[in-house]
Amino acid sequence: MGERTEVTRGSLPVERSAGRFSGPDGLRDVVERLLAWLRNRREAALESVSTATTMRNVVDADALADETPEKWSVVHDVVTYGSSPLTDVLVFRHGPSRQDLVMLPERNTRPEGEISFYHADRTRGARHLLSIGADSLTAALSYVLERIERFERLFTGRGSQLPSGYTGPSEDL
């Protein structure tokens, strides 16, 4: 243990002695391919962007919230159901009961088309598809606004059935 280790200076390994950014051939190839890929991405970035209409583009949640009872709020959310892609939805949130009525467009980029409804219980972290639907966004909004007090009774345990008035989305997707 009493022996002293001598520190000696040696030359850098061959692969690093050629310059500041040089490295082994394999690493150099990877870096060159990465830089080429980044250059190609930068040139095509805006050309590959496409637009899609979502629920946020067609529904003013603030204006809609003005038409709902005091204990309700209306918000947009982005969710996924099962293996479906992320979808922009409209949520009618009943604050006191922590229950949500979620309006989900049947086709992700056609929010004005057929709508399905989900009930989400934020207390239990559960959600399920309701047996109600609408053939258009306009019909779905009318349905909710006309029956929102019945949903409140259901969500607070004072009602036992979903509001009637099923307008059924079609089966073809």
* 50-63 pLDDT per residue, tens: 778 889 999 999 99
Per-residue pLDDT at 80 exceeds 70: yes
The pLDDT value recorded for residue 168 is: 40
Sign of CA dihedral 4, 10, 15, 18: positive
**Three-state DSSP class for residue 74:** strand
Q: CB–CB of 125/98 below 8 Å?
A: no
Contact 104, 115 (CB under 8 A): yes
User: Could you tell me if 89 and 137 are in contact, meaning their C-beta atoms sit under 8 angstroms apart?
Assistant: no
Tens digits of residue pLDDT in 4-31: 655 555 544 444 445 555 555 677 778 8
The reported pLDDT for the residue numbered 17 is: 47
| DSSP summary character for residue 14 | G
Q: Residue 119: which of 100, 95, 98, 143 has the closest Cα?
A: 100
Q: What is the pLDDT of residue 142?
A: 92
- 128-157 mean pLDDT: 87
Residue 112 burial (CB < 10 Å; 0-12/13-18/19+)? middle
Question: Between the CA of residue 137 and those of 8, 85, 97, 149, what are the distances in Å?
Answer: 78, 20, 25, 20
What is the per-residue pLDDT for 16?
47
Give the per-residue pLDDT at 82: 72
**66, pLDDT greater than 70:** yes
CB atoms within 10 A of CB 128: 9
For the question of whether the overall pTM of this predicted structure is more than 0.75, the answer is no
| Chain segment 87-133, per-residue pLDDT in tens | 899 999 998 888 899 999 988 888 999 999 988 888 888 888 888 88
For 46, the token pair is 């805006």
Does residue 159 or residue 32 have the better pLDDT?
A: 32
More confidently predicted of 42 and 146 = 146
Q: CA geometry: angle at 122 spanning 85 and 66, to 5°?
A: 85
